[in-house]
Chain A
C-alpha cells in the first residue's frame, strides 16, 4: 500500500481507480451545481472562448496542410478531385477532435489544473470547507462542466475552419474543380462519420476536463506540486486522448 514503491502498472491502475472515484464524486454533484448556472457559464467562457483564437488558427493551418498533402498524394494517381474527401473525413473523424483535445489540454487544461492547485495551496479550498461549502461542488464541478461543454464546440469550430482551409488550398490555389471537389466530398461523407467526430469530442471533453480538475484538486499544495500537476495534466490527458482515439476509431470502423 505504499504509493512510492509501486511499479508503473500498479501506479497507473491506482490513478485510474482514483480518477474514476473522483468522477463519481463530480457526477453526484452536478445536480446541485446546476442551480448556480452563473459559475458554469463563467467556466465555459474561460475554457471555451479564451481558447477560440488558438483553435481557429490551428484549424486553419491543419486544413491547409491537408489540402497540400491531399493534392500531393492524389495527383500521383491523377485523382485530385478526392482532396476534399481526405480533408473532410480526416478532419471530421480524427484530426478535428484529437487536435482540438490536445490543444485544449495545453491551453485550458493546464489553466484549470494550476488554478485549482493554487487555490489549494493558498488554503482557499480548506477555507471553503471551513465555511461549510463543498469545494468539489463550488470549484471542481463548474470547471469540469465548463470544459465538457466547451470542448465539442471548439472541435466543431476547428473542423469547420479546417475544411475551409483545405478547400482554400485545394480549390483556390491548386485549381481542383470546385464542383468535383464538393460532390466527391458529399458522396463520401455520411452521418456516421459526423457522429464519430461528435462522440469523440464529447469523450475527449470528459477525459481532458476530468484529468485537469483531478490533477489540480489532488496536487501537492506547494509551488513545485502545482507545477508538477500541470505537467501531468498535459502528459496524461494527451496520452489518454490518443489512446481513446484509437479505441473509438476501431469501434466506429465499418467494413464496406
Chain B
C-alpha cells in the first residue's frame, strides 16, 4: 500500500505553544483513507488543539499540517471553507444551534450551502436522522434532548453534506453505557457504510479499542506510542502502561510541581 498517497491527514514535525507553554514539539501523525484513527492521551495533552490544527482553526508554528495533500496554513479563507465542507465534525456536547429544532439543525448546512428544493432537503434530513435512530425526534428542540441524543443529532448534521472526513471530539464523554455503545456502533457504521475517513479523539481506551484501526497515544506534546489498539495494549513502555492501566503515578506525575513538602510544612515554605 502506498502510504503517502493514502494519507488524508498528514501532520509532520509540528510545534505549537500556548502562552509560552509547548503543547506540541515534533509531532508526527497520519490518518489514512477509509480508516478510523484514534488519538488518545491524558487530559491537557493537546488532543483538541490537534483537531484545531487539522481544521485550520489554529496554525502550527513549525512543521506541516496537510489535509488531502494541501497545506492547511497556506490556504486562503475561501479554500479553508471549501476544505471544511468536505469535513464533518462532532463536538463534545453536540454544539447544536439552540434556536433551531432537530430537523432544522440537520438541515442547516444544506440550507446554507445548497439550493436544493424543500422535498429533497426533507428527504436528506430524514434519511440522516433515521440513520442515527432519531427520525421521530425531528421536531424536538435541542434543550429537550439527552446528551447522547444531542450527539446523535450532531452526527446526523455532520454527515448531511456527505463529508470525506469525520472528526469526533471526545464523543464518549459523559455518556451512559448504552449511549456510549450506540455512538461507538454509529462511528463504526459511518466508517464502513460510507467509507468515511474518521478521526476520533478520546481517552476512553476500551471503546476505542473496539473500533479504531490505528491509534496514537499522545503525552506531553509528542506521540509516545502508535499502532493498532492491540499493539498498544501489549506495549510495555511506561507511558503506555500508565495510560492503559490508569495508574495514578508514572511518567505523568501525580503531583503538580511544588516545593519540597517537608520544607513547606515545617518552615512555612519559601517567603
Contacts and interface: CB of A to CB of B under 8 A. Distances in A.
Interface of A: 118-119, 122-124, 126-133, 138
Contacts of B113: 132
B85 interface: yes
Interface stretch (B5-13, B94-102, B171-179, B236-244): B94-102
Interface in B37-94: 55, 57, 81-82, 84-85, 87, 89, 91-93
Contacts of B92: 123
A138 B85 CA distance: 17
A183 to B, nearest CB: 51
26 contacts: A119-B97, A119-B98, A123-B91, A123-B92, A123-B95, A124-B96, A124-B97, A124-B98, A126-B95, A127-B89, A127-B91, A127-B96, A127-B154, A128-B97, A129-B57, A130-B84, A130-B89, A131-B84, A131-B85, A131-B161, A132-B82, A132-B109, A132-B113, A133-B109, A133-B112, A138-B112
A222 to B, nearest CB: 14
Given A131-B157, A132-B84, 8 more contacts: A122-B98, A126-B95, A127-B97, A128-B97, A130-B89, A131-B84, A133-B109, A133-B112
Given A119-B98, A124-B97, A129 B84 contact: yes
A130 B97 contact: no
User: Which of A118, A119, A122, A128 has the most chain B CB within a 10 Å cutoff?
Assistant: A122
Interface of B: 55, 57, 81-82, 84-85, 87, 89, 91-93, 95-98, 108-109, 112-113, 154, 157, 161
Contacts of A129: 57, 84
A136 to B, nearest CB: 12
A196 B226 CA distance: 70
Contacts of A124: 95-98
A13 to B, nearest CB: 23
A32 to B, nearest CB: 11
B81 A132 contact: yes
A170 B109 CA distance: 59
A122 B84 contact: no
Contacts of B87: 130
Given A123-B91, A126-B57, A126-B91, A131 B96 contact: no
Contacts, number: 48
A132 B85 contact: yes
Shortest 5 CB-CB contacts between residues of A and residues of B: A127-B95, A123-B95, A132-B81, A132-B84, A130-B89
Contact of A131 (B93, B98, B108): B108
A124 B87 CA distance: 16
Nearest to A119: B98
A118 B97 CA distance: 11
B82 A122 contact: no
Nearest to A130: B89
Contacts of A133: 108-109, 112
B141 to A, nearest CB: 14
Contacts of A122: 93, 95, 98
Given A123-B91, A123-B93, A126-B95, A131 B57 contact: no
A18 to B, nearest CB: 19
A131 B109 contact: yes
Nearest to A139: B97
A6 B95 CA distance: 35
A127 B95 CA distance: 6
Contacts of A128: 97
Nearest to A134: B81
Contacts of B85: 131-132
A162 B210 CA distance: 70
A128 B157 CA distance: 11
Nearest to A118: B98
Contacts of B98: 118-119, 122, 124
Contacts of A130: 55, 84, 87, 89
Contacts of A131: 84-85, 108-109, 112, 157, 161
Contacts of B89: 127, 130
